[in-house]
Amino acid sequence: MAEMWINMGPQHPMTHGLWNMRIKVDGETITDAEPVIGYLHRGWEKMTEDRRYPQIIPMSDRLCYGSSFTWSHVYCMAVEDLMGIEVPEKAKYIRAMSDELQRIGNHLMWLAAIGPDLGNLTIFLYALREREMFLDLFQSLCGARMTYNYCRIGGVRNDAPPNWDRDLVRTLDYFEKRMNEYEELVDRNKVFRMRMEDLAPLSGKDAVNLGITGPTLRGSGVKYDIRQNDPYEIYDELDWHMCTADEGDTYARYRVRMDEMRMSVQIVRDILKKMPKTGPIRVKPPRNAPVGTGMARMEDPRGESLMYVIGDGTDKPYRLSVRSPLFVILSASPVLLRGNKIADLPSILGMIDVCMGETDR
Amino acid sequence: MDLSTYPHAIAMSAKEFVDWSTNVMDDIVKATGVKRALDKVSDPLMNWGVRNSMYPLHFGIACCALEMAACSGPRYDNERLGLVFRSSPRQCDVLLVNGWVTKKLRPSLRRLYEEMPEPKWVIAMGECAISGGPWYDSYNVVQGVDTFIPVDVYIPGCPPRPEALIDGFLRLHQKIKKSKIGTFMDD
Amino acid sequence: MYLDIWQLLTGLVHWLMVNIIGAILGWIGFHGVEHWLGTPGVLNFVTIIVVGLVVFIVGMLVSITLIWQERKELGRLMDRRGTQVGPIGLFQNFADALKVLVKEHIVPEAADSMVYNVAPVIIIGVSLMMMVTIPYSPGFYMSNSQLSVLLTLALFGVVPFAVLLGGWASNNKYTLIGGMRAAAQIIAYEVPLLLSVVGVVILAGSLNFFDIVAWQQSHVWLVLPMIIGAIVFTISMIAELERVPFDLPEAEAELVEGWGTEYGGMRFGLIMMSEYARGFIGSSMITLLFLGGWDMPAFLNFIPDGIWFLAKVFIVFGIIIWIRGALPRVRTDQILNLGWRRLLPLAVVNIAIAIAFKTLGWF
Amino acid sequence: MEENVTYTVEQVKSKISEAFPAAVKFESKAKPRRLFMTADKGSLFNLCKFMKDQLGFDHCSLVSGVDRCDRMQVVYHISSFSNNITAEIVVDIPRDNPEIDAITPLWEGANWHERETYDMFGIIFKGHPKLERLLLPADYTFFPMRKDCDTGRH
């Protein structure tokens, strides 16, 4: 068969989101690839120049709908850096806890999405079932299922409701049992392993050069996690370790994310132990930001997210710039795809957990 | 039967004959009341069939796509209502627009709509698809999907909960119930 | 205990044609027509049509039930309810069927319209034709050919050809790749499928379903001596039916809806239907060749043969659904590797075992 | 870069000011694990190359443009995995001729960031492998993130 270009997208079951993967195929083998993005571009950064600082929090929730809390968190940290605000101790703990719960929820959505990518619908429904539990937790914490509007400049909006800790511990206990079920379905399944092992290997050196961060980088054996290497909030006081895998193939990326879910459960348990029972959860920020710059980076479920904000003395940011982890990982997707079969394309791209809202902005 | 309304009845081509005989059959069926009787049976039956097997297009745009996925999850399980997400627009009945529509996407979305076979419906899910939502002052977002394709049901919310999505489908049921979808011949 | 449909319907047709229609015609005065209706040729012809119709309707009903079974069983495997339209979801398929009736029929502008329209006809026709050879019980069958096993397998081989035609004629890159995959897959899996049947044929000494079942009734269910063959046959049959984990031609993740992407409306509905009709044929072949057909323990004799057969078919199909719920899709090169490197040698080993049994005179 | 050598912020500072005494100025702001500096337009590429090869800055986090109305700025956030330092380099470029050397040849990860900055600000990155519109449709004629671009008109 002669080589031909195939447009996979914008409407395609492989694209979790909305983009277009142009691939050049020779029979079944991909010889070249070119992602076409921008289908969700809404001028986020331009619009923030016309909003006051607190008004941007719900907008940053909608940057990535899979992990909305981490995005409003990184925005608040950047503005706090600009304004020079020190967040109260308890708010830091609540933020870190919400981060980890969000990480579990987001990884469950990723686990759900790779099921249909590999051709199995069961794991999709199992993961969605458990995701609902974490959405319920968030719902009782801040009233929304997905877009929370919970983080505030200088703290968080409200304290956890009564008996929330009890529900949380129960959910975590239950979830750890369910994790075994997933591993029985996926890790002990020969066909899953056949599809994922030795697929799209990426060496640590290449991954660093391509700017890949997050679980995809740690799957290539590079020990780098912003929570540990550039700690924010209270991560340096917690009892946890970084999850890495050395193989660099798709299965290693899968393993890293699964381990991260378990690790997040451990972190949340540790936070519950160490969190102060009482104390302020929020300080009042000034209305106008000083002239200067602020920058915050954190470990998003997908990688390194960074926000850079320039204040000009008014109540609106002069410039707000966003680094999306997926924006960079997606630019590296041709490297991952070249030489593989068409059938592997959804699993390779599904394994980097595509979320187009933050990529296109 | 009055042949004067069919002046070419004596010497007509095959196509003309087909048209002519269709008209004659139509006239007979209408005049004798058979049509009304058939419609009495077929309309509720077809209507019930259409209502209970709506296939939405598997097309996730933005935030609401996750709620669409949650809707097919075990807790909400939209397959109870016969809703199965299909990926090919040729096999779908409902276009679920679940997110903001940018200027780059608009031609593709319009084309998806055109690719779907009649009868088809459009559901605008979430604020962005209804009116642009939080991106009201964006230079790249189309302010509402109803500016270029007809929308049947609007589901407000940012994002709407899965219950709201199911409710939207049930409202679409009501709309279909009112339409004459299963009548045998056009009046 | 079984119902002989041929005897019953011959009698019924004779009574209808001679005693009712003939009598009426005779009363009016068409004596020549009355006698002509009573001749054995005409009676035979009408009986064949009526029996065919009955077998066809029963086959379609079973296929529809299989769709329902798949939806409900898959739903329970995934911890949800599945369809709830009608009592326990039984009416869902009828709703789907009524819906596709009112859908618009679109032929893509760039498609080769003749081949595009003919391909589903071939698929549906071939799938329904396979029902001719399948006996439900010693009395409920359409044809009793000496080579019925071979005929069914031959008809199975026609479908991928039509899939390739349809995929090519749709003028869509996904459908083209889907069609190519169907062709590649069928070459890899037709061979082990046929070779695993050879073992059965050697032991039973016939290519006729009735003889094979009769042999199993007098000896033992063939799944016991031919366990390797049964496994190879089941795996190849799943590949032949294009179901998960071997549903590469319609791989939803990468090829949208595979080779059928451009087919909508009634054609889509009928293609879906024929897929399950083939699923029924596949499961009944497994039942007939390896699980003793309508054979049953003697003390359960009061249950009719046909019910036994259908119960086994549903169990076999249930296992196929279970496999779908548990496994992801296998990749193209892996599926070919599996077919040529694992199943083919196993099928040959199976033949050797069959020959050994036969020469040792154990069966 | 030598293996397993880590530098503190102060060491990095002194090494850079040794190598680029005139072109690079450090800001007075001090935060843990952060480095703030402004660089010359012409010496940016050499500075980045020096930082990558000698000091172990192996990850380009973000390239963002800023329209300061009288001039353009490009802000680079470059971080080091071994030193745990994030450096912020601000480069001023003239507004009527926004051109700067691309750092994509050094860090492949900067590829799309530079494309996006071109897309939004119209800043030309010399030496970039494929400088085309990324997020916006190719037929757009304006650069939306410039301050004088009235987005309501489009």
Q: Which residue of A has its CA nearest to D84?
A: A229
**Does A contact B via 3+ CB–CB distances below 8 Å?**
yes
Write down the mean pLDDT value for chain A.
86
Asked whether the ipTM of the predicted complex exceeds the cut of 0.90, the reply is no
* C204-212: average pLDDT: 86
Question: Percentage of chain C with pLDDT > 90?
Answer: 2
Segments making up each domain of chain A, as ranges: 4-360
Q: Are A215 and A257 in contact (CB under 8 A)?
A: yes
Residue C361 φ/ψ, nearest 5 degrees: 75, 25
Q: For the segment B101-160, what is each residue's pLDDT rounded down to a tens digit?
A: 888 888 888 888 888 888 889 999 888 888 888 888 888 888 888 888 899 899 988 888
CB contact under 8 A, A323 and D136: no
> Which stretch of A135-139, B62-66, C298-302 has the lowest confidence by average pLDDT?
C298-302
Residue B11 has pLDDT above 70, yes or no: no
A86 in contact with B, Cβ within 8 Å: no
Report chain A residues whose CB lies below 8 A from the CB of B57. Answer: 11
Which pLDDT value is given to residue A224?
85
pLDDT at A313 over 70: yes
End-to-end CA distance of chain D: 49
CB contact under 8 Å between A211 and D66, yes or no, is no
Please compute the mean of the pLDDT values over residues C292-315 and round it to a whole number. 83
Residue C304: predicted pLDDT: 81
In whole angstroms, give the CA distance from residue C184 to residue C170.
19
User: Is the pLDDT confidence value at C290 over 80?
Assistant: yes
Percent of chain C residues past pLDDT 70, beyond the cut: 99
**Is A119's CB within 8 Å of C244's CB?**
yes
Paired sense of beta strands D34-39 and D25-26, if any: antiparallel
Terminal CA-CA length for chain A = 39
Does residue B11 form part of some domain? Answer: no
Average pLDDT over residues D57-79: 86
- 3 state DSSP class of A30: strand
Domain residue ranges of chain C, discontinuous segments joined by +: 108-360
The residue-averaged pLDDT of D94-118 equals: 85
Residues of chain D positioned with their CB less than 8 A from the CB of A306: 61-62, 77
- Report whether pLDDT(C87) > 60: yes
* A contacts of C325 (beta carbons < 8 Å): 120-122
User: Å from A149 to nearest chain B CA?
Assistant: 12
**CB-CB: which of A45, A230, A295 is closest to D84?**
A230
Return residues 75-114 of B near D (CB < 8 Å): 103-104
What token pair was written down for C87? 């009592």
CATH of A4-360, one of 1.10.3720.10, 3.40.630.10, 1.10.645.10, 1.10.10.10: 1.10.645.10
| Residue C325, pLDDT above cutoff 80 | yes
Contacts of residue C299, defined as CB under 8 A and 6 or more positions apart, other chains included, come to none
Q: Is the pLDDT of residue D3 over 60?
A: no
Full set of structural domains in chain D with CATH: 9-148 (3.30.460.80)
pLDDT at C363 over 70: no
Helix ranges (H only) for chain C are 5-14, 23-28, 31-37, 40-77, 92-102, 113-129, 148-169, 173-204, 209-218, 227-241, 265-290, 305-326, 332-337, 344-360
Looking at residue B3, its pLDDT comes to 55
Partner residue facing A119 (CB), from C77, C173, C329: C329
Asked if the model's pLDDT at residue B186 lies above 60, the reply is no
Nearest CA in chain A to C74: A122
Chain D hits for B137, Cβ within 8 Å:
151-152
Listed by number, the residues of chain C in 306-345 with a beta carbon closer than 8 Å to a beta carbon of chain A are 325-334
Q: Between β-strands A20-26 and A291-300, what pairing exists: parallel, antiparallel or unpaired?
A: unpaired
> Looking at the predicted structure, is the pLDDT value of residue A14 above 80?
no
Range picked from A1-10, B38-47, C21-30, C52-61 for highest mean pLDDT: C52-61
- Chain B residues with CB inside 8 Å of C84's CB? 80-81
pLDDT band of D154, cuts 50, 70, 90: low
Q: How confident is the model at residue A331 (pLDDT cuts 50, 70, 90)?
A: confident
Token pair in block for residue A172: 């975590």
In a domain, B8, yes or no: no
Cβ pair B67:A145 closer than 8 A: yes
Pairing of strands D99-101, D124-126: parallel
CB-nearest to A191 from C173, C330, C333 is C330
At least 3 CB pairs under 8 A between chains D and C: no
Q: Based on the structure, what is the number of domains in chain B?
A: 1
CB of A128 within 8 Å of any CB in chain D? no
Name the pLDDT band for B9 (thresholds 50, 70, 90): low
CA of B28 to nearest chain C CA: how many angstroms apart?
Answer: 23
| C-alpha C232: how far from chain center | 18
Name the residue with higher pLDDT: C361 or C174: C174
The answer to whether B58 faces chain A, any CB pair under 8 Å, is yes
List, in sequence order, every residue forming a beta bridge with A291; answer none if it has no partner: A312
Q: What is the mean pLDDT of residues C65-92?
A: 87
Q: What percent of chain A has pLDDT over 70?
A: 100
Enclosing domain of residue B150: 55-178
Say whether residue A361 is in contact with chain B using an 8 A CB cutoff. Answer: no
If DSSP codes are grouped into helix, strand and coil, which group holds residue A26? strand
**Mean pLDDT lowest for which of A189-198, A235-244, C250-259?**
C250-259
Contact state of A118 with C333 under an 8 Å Cβ cutoff: no
Q: What is the pLDDT of residues A204-241, one digit of tens each?
A: 888 888 888 888 888 888 888 888 888 888 888 888 88
The pLDDT value recorded for residue B184 is: 63
DSSP state of C207: S
Q: Could D151 and A331 be called an inter-chain contact, meaning their C-beta atoms sit closer than 8 Å?
A: no
pTM of the model: 0.87
Query: D78 to chain B, minimum CA–CA distance in Å?
Result: 30
Does C76 lie at the interface with A, CB-CB under 8 angstroms? Answer: no
Residues of chain C with Cβ-Cβ distance to A351 below 8 Å are none
Burial of B118 (0-12, 13-18, 19+ CB in 10 A): exposed
Instruction: Give me the pLDDT at residue D2, please.
Output: 46
Q: Look over chain C and give the mean of its residue pLDDT values, rounded to a whole number.
A: 85
List chain B residues with CB under 8 Å of D151.
137-139
Q: What is the pLDDT of residue D1?
A: 44
Q: For position C186, what pLDDT does the model report? A: 82
Least CB–CB distance from D151: residue in A46, A229, A319 = A46
